[in-house]
Structure 1
Amino acid sequence: MIIAIDGPAASGKGTLARRIAAHWALPCLDTGLLYRAVARDVVAASFRPADPWAALAAARGLDLAGLSDPDLRTPAAGDLASIVARIPQVRAALLSYQRNFAAQPGGAVLDGRDIGTVVCPEADVKIYVTASAEVRADRRLRECLARGENVSFEHILADILRRDERDSSRDNAPMRPAHDADLLDTSDLDIEAAFDAAVGLIKRKIGQQGA
């Protein structure tokens, strides 16, 4: 069973993906970490994130062991990742790894922005997780404050809106719901309610396929 979880920044898709993977005992891949790691390595090599050749070299030489780096989960890393993710050569270089991960025996859960549309268009279940920009900014603000970061709601909201525009307007694999994805708006849901709703969607989808 391949489950594709897509959605914009701070929608809760990553947390949901991990919970869903644990529930069905499936491996889970946060594909955004791949792009964050590429951006990190490009900057570490003193190149600009938008440099296509430096980004491609970083993608081809990516050390997957480095995905556990906690710095990859910061808002700054996410902003750089959305720049790298616009480069078609980088997306192509990372596509085979993502598809191989999904194709392992028993299936997998993958979350990102183009899983249901590009990476795994034949996924058994596709869920597009969303929430209002203001709710997502508030969630991100609380995460940053918990880490001791001095940021403002206005700054985070502007960053989220900028990332939404960048991710949805890119020519290659833009962020959008797959035509057959179930939409899950988490604006008014806590993680437990969102998880219950997602499990319900998945069970209904499996039931439809088994009918």
Structure 2
Amino acid sequence: MSANEPSTTPQYADRVFRSVGGVMGGVLLLALAAWLGIDALVNGSGRTRLLSVAALLCVVPLITAFTVRPAVYASEDRLRIRNPFRTITLPWATVETLRAHFSSEVLTKDGAKFQLWAVPVSIRARNRANRQAAKSGAHDAHPVAAAGDKPHRAPGDQNIDDLRELAERNADREGAQGPAEVKWAYEIIAPALVGALALLVLALV
């Protein structure tokens, strides 16, 4: 294929993993914070308005960081983890394994460990899935499962299984090589620190 010919390799969109409950809770909290903040700005006095602005500047980024921001993007070449205060990009060749115990984690070949905030682990869901699997096995009159059958898995555990499969399948790809990258989310950290500092100053004045 010449340099001017387009690549015929199909390109697939990233798989995106998010905590739906976390996002919904974050949206509700942001709406509540906006309502309280606007009410204080409209009806409050000078000091109350300053406190409300400082509180919003501190609280809104933190709510966003822990609820709306977390996401995991998985492509054929890399895993991108957007946690509350950092974004970690891991080419599949750097990934040793992924696991889900009390939290979802990815371990790299150089010994680093990162949590996947967007893939929560539910012990209750895991126990429920285990009970369903045991019940299905106990009532199965045909012990030989069909080729397409899969065991019952909790959603968080299934997501980790899918990511682990992607890592194993794509680790040798040319585009999956390279070093890991970690970037701090200063757009979250900076306003939260400014708001916290402003609250401290206003409390001492």
TM-score (norm 2): 0.22
Larger relative strand fraction = 2
Larger relative helix fraction = 1
